[in-house]
Amino acid sequence: MPAETLSRYVTRDAQILSGEPIIIGTRTSVRAIVGLWRLGIMPEEILNHLPHLTLAQVFDALSFYLDNQPEINEYIEQNRIPDELVHPSVKKALGKL
């Protein structure tokens, strides 16, 4: 199955992350960008964590997410680390202790 363009900067390629939506030309998933955004990181600051992206790519990924929440939320859930495997220092940093 060839790559399928989903939006200006988002594509799906069965050979990359099993077809999960990614940023074109990268292996960065929409899920990863949404994960940072859900932590309260502003789109402009996401570039500090993913410096190979442009602000336009980040905003397009977030727009894609908002239009496709059930699909991306399923990828997030499938890749969630069980609470019992999260190190206590990470839980503390996230305010989960």
| pLDDT computed for residue 43 by the predictor | 97
Give CA–CA dist 36/78, Å, rounded: 17
| pLDDT computed for residue 82 by the predictor | 83
Domain with 16 in it: what CATH number?
1.10.10.10
Q: List CB contacts of 82: < 8 A, sequence separation 6 or more.
A: none
| pLDDT computed for residue 91 by the predictor | 80
> Running DSSP on this structure, what letter comes out for residue 9?
S
Q: How many independent structural domains does the chain possess?
A: 1
| pLDDT computed for residue 23 by the predictor | 97
| pLDDT computed for residue 95 by the predictor | 76
Categorise residue 39: left if φ over 0, alpha if ψ from -120 to 50, beta otherwise. Answer: alpha
pLDDT tens by residue, the chain, 97 residues: 667 888 899 999 999 999 999 999 999 999 999 999 998 999 999 999 999 999 999 999 999 999 999 999 999 999 888 878 888 888 888 776 5
Q: Is the pTM of this model over 0.75?
A: yes
Token pair 């496709």 in the structure block, residue? 68
Q: Coil, strand, or helix at residue 29?
A: strand
Residue 18, domain extent: 4-93
Other Cβ atoms closer than 10 A to 91: 12
